């Protein structure tokens, strides 16, 4: 369904003349490639710490300039995209505050929203116009080398406006994500964190837990991995994600993730009881319900 067909207002394509992408990784790099492809970015400055990653961005035409100096990069920018790990967002913004133009739009792509939106709304008040966002698209890979311009096409982007959000800035950020093929939804930041804890953060916890348990069995001398097939590979794919990135997401969204783990543990205990007691009919009903959900995830 197109955004228009879904009842969303499709904004006219924006044109951002000068864009700073602070954190040119999987998400920041993919946005640079996609927005360039869609003709909505003029000059793009990539900000990062490692030269090799920035050079990859220059070589692939994602950015025009590269620097490790966020404060210098945002001078004259009409759009600043924060693409760094969630725990680094506020320190990166603090460093750039004196250089931001009052009319500049600052938006982020962080996977946790409520604490970030509260901090960045506060920090950026009177300095720039902040819009919280989370493009729900990704892979288990990291860095500019993993970036690709089609990453966002057909996926959902959540924007989390607060009472402080400038409506014109919100509309421009919405039209940016629409221009790269996303369906954009506005959501309260706390609800975002509750929803994403269940559909994204918890699956990562579970994959890391299973991979960690198998690693521990192998460390104790039981050879397992050579006998695995598609099940283990599919189930643990996201456990190949960057541990530092996910440590930050889990700890920043700790209450919601912990609540998800508790609910999941209860579900496991129920399954354990049905299996241990040989209650086949109830077990099958439980598996049927789970399979119907899985079919909806697939479609």
Q: Does 26 bind ligand NAP (CB under 6 A)?
A: yes
Among 20, 35, 73, 109, binds ligand NAP (CB under 6 A): 109
Q: Does 77 bind ligand NAP (CB under 6 A)?
A: no
Record the tokens describing residue 203, joined without a space: 């699956």
Number of other CB atoms surrounding residue 278 within 10 Å? 7
Name the residue nearer to ligand NAP (CB basis): 205 or 274. 205
Q: Does 295 bind ligand NAP (CB under 6 A)?
A: no
Among 110, 149, 161, 260, binds ligand NAP (CB under 6 A): 110
Q: Does 143 bind ligand NAP (CB under 6 A)?
A: yes
Shortest Å, Cβ 138 to ligand NAP: 2
185 Cβ neighbours under 8 A, 6+ residues apart: 156, 157, 158, 159
Indicate the DSSP class of residue 47: E
Binding-site size for ligand NAP (CB under 6 A) equals 29
Name the residue nearer to ligand NAP (CB basis): 32 or 274. 32
Among 63, 93, 99, 142, binds ligand NAP (CB under 6 A): 142
Pairing of strands 79-82, 105-108: parallel
- Decide: 25 and 142 in contact? Cβ < 8 Å: yes
Shortest Å, Cβ 296 to ligand NAP: 21
Q: Does 99 bind ligand NAP (CB under 6 A)?
A: no
Pairing of strands 133-136, 156-159: antiparallel
Sign, CA torsion 145/150/155/158: positive
Q: Does 27 bind ligand NAP (CB under 6 A)?
A: yes
**What is the side-by-side order of every strand in the sheet holding 156-159?**
133-136, 156-159, 183-186
Q: Give the x-and-dash track for 205-244 against ligand NAP (CB under 6 A).
A: -------------------------------------x--
Record the tokens describing residue 194, joined without a space: 């509750």
Cα angle 188-10-80, degrees, rounded to a multiple of 5? 65
3-state secondary structure of 71: helix
- Which stretches of the chain bind ligand NAP, using CB under 6 A? 22-28, 47-50, 53, 83-86, 88, 92, 109-111, 134-135, 138, 142-143, 242, 245, 249
């Amino acid at each position: 369904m197109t955004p228009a067909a879904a009842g969303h207002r499709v904004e006219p394509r924006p044109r951002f003349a000068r864009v700073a992408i602070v954190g040119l990784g999987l998400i920041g790099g993919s946005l640079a490639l996609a927005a360039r492809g869609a003709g909505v970015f003029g000059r793009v400055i990539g900000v990062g710490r490692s030269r090799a990653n920035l050079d990859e961005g220059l070589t692939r035409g994602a950015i025009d300039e590269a620097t490790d100096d966020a404060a210098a990069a945002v001078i004259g920018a009409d759009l600043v995209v924060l693409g760094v790990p969630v725990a680094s967002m506020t320190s990166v913004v603090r460093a750039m505050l004196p250089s931001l133009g009052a009319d500049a739009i600052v938006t982020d792509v962080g996977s946790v929203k409520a604490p970030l939106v509260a901090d960045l709304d506060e920090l950026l008040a009177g300095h720039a116009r902040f819009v919280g966002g989370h493009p729900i698209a990704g892979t288990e890979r990291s860095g500019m080398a993993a970036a690709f311009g089609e990453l966002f096409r057909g996926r959902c982007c959540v924007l989390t406006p607060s009472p402080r959000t400038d409506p014109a800035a919100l509309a421009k950020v919405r039209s940016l994500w629409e221009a790269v093929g996303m369906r954009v939804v506005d959501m309260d930041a706390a609800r975002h964190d509750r929803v994403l804890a269940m559909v994204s953060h918890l699956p990562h916890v579970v994959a890391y837990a299973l991979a960690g348990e198998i690693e521990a069995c192998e460390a104790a001398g039981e050879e397992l991995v050579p006998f695995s097939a598609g099940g283990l590979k599919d189930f643990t794919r996201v456990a190949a994600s960057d541990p530092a990135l996910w440590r930050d997401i889990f700890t920043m969204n700790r209450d919601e993730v912990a609540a998800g783990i508790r609910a999941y543990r209860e579900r496991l205990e129920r399954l354990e009881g049905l299996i241990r007691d040989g209650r086949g009919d109830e077990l099958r009903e439980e598996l049927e319900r789970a399979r119907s959900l899985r079919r909806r995830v697939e479609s």
